[in-house]
Structure 1
Amino acid sequence: MPPSLDREGYWGKPTSTLDWCEENYVVSFYIAEFWNTTSNLIMILLPIYGAIRAHQDGLELRYVSSFLGLAAVGVGSWCFHMTLLYEMQLLDELPMIYYMCVVVYCIFETFRKENTVDLFPIALSLVFSICVTVVYLQWKEPLFHQFMIGILIVCLVLRSIYIVTWVYPRFRSMCYTSLGCFVFGFLLWNIDSIFCDSLIASRHALPPGVGAVTQFHAWWHVFTTLGSYLHMLLSLQIRSTYLGHRPKVKFICRVWPTVHMD
């Protein structure tokens, strides 16, 4: 993608290998991509709430870690879009790999006895994470990172669909809602990439508040957070049901779902 129209800002010239379809330093002198940055608030605050709830419910450490991992991705993404520096890009992209490994581990370990640990998938995840990190630090190709993330997502989706199809069909709606959020966010991400020039032109023609709605990469942050959060709730429901609990989905302000253990 060609870089956005450059304006000099607090963090200087971008050094990242990616520059998204939001003109730099338009809204704030201190934030390179304002909307792509602030949209990460949902990716930071909601997983922190999820981690607190998981800890209060006495859930296994891996579930607390998965929520905190998503929050770490949100912090890294905030730093990346705020600065467009290569070091901050790594702070965004590498934690995605580590977070996804934790989430994949959770969904594949749902049918294990409580408080037991299988070292093989943990070792496999560590080896995968280390190999991806070493290769990506040497070969600065974003497509490699995206391909590795894609492998983890395919594993996650296939395992989840298998469980809600053959083991716990009553959780099917949560699974497909989560998947739908991912797919819709991915669609917006591609629209933002493919039609960047047209989107920038439309933002110049529209009032600022209306033009901000066309920041589709920011919406990608929102919908991938929704998809990730819902999938973690799905994983919690499956695990808790297997352990003999009766998890219930409740809504904050009748909008945001949470899982409560009886």
Structure 2
Amino acid sequence: MAPSLDRQGYWGRPTSTLDWCEENYVISFYIAEFWNTVSNLIMILPPLCGAIQTFRDGLEFRYVCSFLGLAAVGVGSWCFHMTLLYEMQLLDELPMIYSTCVFIYCLYECFKQEHGISLFPIALLLIFSVSVTVVYLQWKEPVFHQVRESSRQTLPPGVGVVTQFHAWWHIFTGLGSYLHILLSLQIRSTYLKYRPKVKFLCGIWPTLHIEPQKTS
């Protein structure tokens, strides 16, 4: 989609080759695509916490790098959607190559182990399938885009945000990538005779903790 020229903000005229279906500089003068920007927090904060927890538990450093790599994807996407500048678009797209590699590697780890084939990786595949469907509806279907834009104007304030499908794509892919790293880490630490346990922060967000070794 060509960049939108309807509004100007702090970062000036968009120079990126893509401008997603969110009105520019509507929420904030300093953020071009507000919801597409802040939705990247799910790809930044949880992976940073995961990297810190993994380092504290003394687990393999490659998983610290995996979490930090996902956070880098989120930061790159944040910068792109905040500015809609071409150089930031490159910063957004290059880390996506890393994200794809992590996805493939974690699937390999899941299915390599004898107990790795379960509903969990299948559910994660479903998350990515939904995210791909969402971005297809937004990017490749101009008729759907027009219907959504017109309906957004008629919806009550605060409700139209649910039609920001690219932001939902960030959420689904961020969640899927985080869970894939977490699952791979759980399987690997179990293989190494650790005692990994999944705990839910605030009863919602999954985290992995290594329990102390049992003493005989």
TM-score (norm 2): 0.89
- 1:82-231 matches, within 5 Å, as 82-101=82-101, 103=102, 153=103, 155-156=104-105, 159=108, 162-163=111-112, 167-169=114-116, 172-193=118-139, 194=141, 195-231=144-180
The structure carrying a bigger helix percent of its residues is: 1
- 1:16-95 matches, within 5 Å, as 16-95=16-95
Cα distance between partner residues in 2 of 1:65 and 1:99: 12
SS of structure 1 residue aligned to 2:44: helix
Cα distance between partner residues in 1 of 2:183 and 2:157: 38
- Residue 247 of structure 1 contacts residue 260 of structure 1 at CA under 8 Å; is this kept in 2? yes
Cα distance between partner residues in 1 of 2:152 and 2:194: 51
Deviation (angstroms), 1:207: 2.1
Query: What is the identity percentage for the equivalent residue pairs of Structure 1 and Structure 2?
Result: 66
Q: Which residue of 1 aligns with 2:202?
A: 253
Distance 1:62 1:100, change over 3 A: farther
Deviation (angstroms), 1:157: 7.2
- Residue 199 of structure 1 contacts residue 214 of structure 1 at CA under 8 Å; is this kept in 2? yes
Q: Identify unmatched segments of 5+ residues in structure 1.
A: 104-152
Count of aligned pairs between the two proteins: 208
Q: Identify unmatched segments of 5+ residues in structure 2.
A: 212-216
Name the stretch that deviates more: 194-203 or 73-82. 194-203
TM-score (norm 1): 0.74
- Residue 9 of structure 1 contacts residue 25 of structure 1 at CA under 8 Å; is this kept in 2? yes
Which runs of at least 4 in structure 1 moved beyond 6 Å after TM superposition?
Answer: none
Deviation (angstroms), 1:156: 4.1
Deviations 1:213-252 (A, max 9, x none): 1001001111111101110111101111221223211111
Cα distance between partner residues in 2 of 1:200 and 1:38: 20
